[in-house]
Amino acid sequence: MIECFENYDLKPHTTFKIGGLAKKVYFPENKEEFIEVLSSLADKAPVVLGGCSNVLISSKGVSNPVIMTSKLDKYEFDEEFLTAQCGVKGGIISKEAQKLGLSGLEFMIGFPGWVGGMIYMNASAHNQAISDIFIEADVYNLNTKKIITLTKEDMKFSYRKSVMQIIPYILINAKFKLIKKDTKLINDLMERNLEFRKTRQPNLSYPNVGSIFRNPTGDSAGRLLDLIGAKEFKSGGAKIWQNHANFIVNTGNATSYDVLKLIKMCYDEIYKDYMIKLIPEIKFIGDMSENEAEIWNTVSKKGLV
């Protein structure tokens, strides 16, 4: 029997510490249970969540069934190859690769994200990206209810994008190719990456979901937001982080509406001054109020999630 809960509080699972109750949440324990629950829920538009480090979950809750991948955390190194399930934490495999003298995962150190989400959004940092090391992945197609294998070409990776944002593919596991390198060189790069994160990004003692907006072509969202004085912006329990304007932090009691209002303030001011429409990097998930839906439809070119 697959573990399942009703009226389940999602807030503790999110790095933003924002979100309401999900009507029904499933916790598959292995690949077989994951496929079983995906197959049974395919027609009900299930929401699949991992580390919840790049999502804003509605304070009103989630009516669609939710599948949590926290127990799908198996991974295996075979010489220079790594195979990892969707629920594997990026920081864990980054450290394990370093011990084995394998390079390619240094950028994941300090990442709160998990493999499924990192492939979905082609996570990147410090001149490394998940697409650089990706070979193939097994995914479940919610439309056809079949499992297929996608190659790197099939994934159509680009900046913060993959085919998984277009077609309802759910990642089961993925395979990566790493490079042999001196463990000290790998460790030194990881230390530099961690130091950068400490000085340029809020840690999770300030609940956040990382960068809010994608960088526009040839520019930096953080730079533009600095120019409009966004570090002074706040809405309810949400405010722009004082050290980097492309981060929103939850001061303790923020709601999803607080965050969306703050996103809209930034979006409007940038468009007014620079005629640039910033695109949110985060995903909004769940039941929305009329005001929330209006804001999200304005700032998100993809509409509702």
Active site residue 281: yes
Dihedral of the alpha carbons of 184, 188, 189, 190, in degrees to the nearest 10: 100
Q: Which of 36, 80, 281, 300 is catalytic?
A: 281
Give yes or no for a contact between 113 and 55, defined as CB atoms under 8 angstroms apart: no
Q: Which of 211, 235, 256, 292 is catalytic?
A: 211
Active site residue 160: yes
Q: Which of 131, 160, 162, 292 is catalytic?
A: 160
- DSSP letter string, the chain: --EEEEEEE-GGGSSS----EEEEEEE--SHHHHHHHHHHHGGG-PEEESS-SSEEE-TT-B-S-EEE-TT---EEEETTEEEEETT-BHHHHHHHHHHTTEES-GGGTT---BHHHHHHTT-EETTEEHHHHEEEEEEEETTTTEEEEEEHHHHT-BTTB-GGGTS-EEEEEEEEE-EE--HHHHHHHHHHHHHHHHHHS--TTS---SBSBPPPTTS-HHHHHHHTTGGG-EETTEEE-TT-TTBEEE-SS--HHHHHHHHHHHHHHHHHHH-----BSSEEES---HHHHHHHHHH-TT---
Active site residue 96: no
Q: Which residues are catalytic?
A: 160, 211, 281
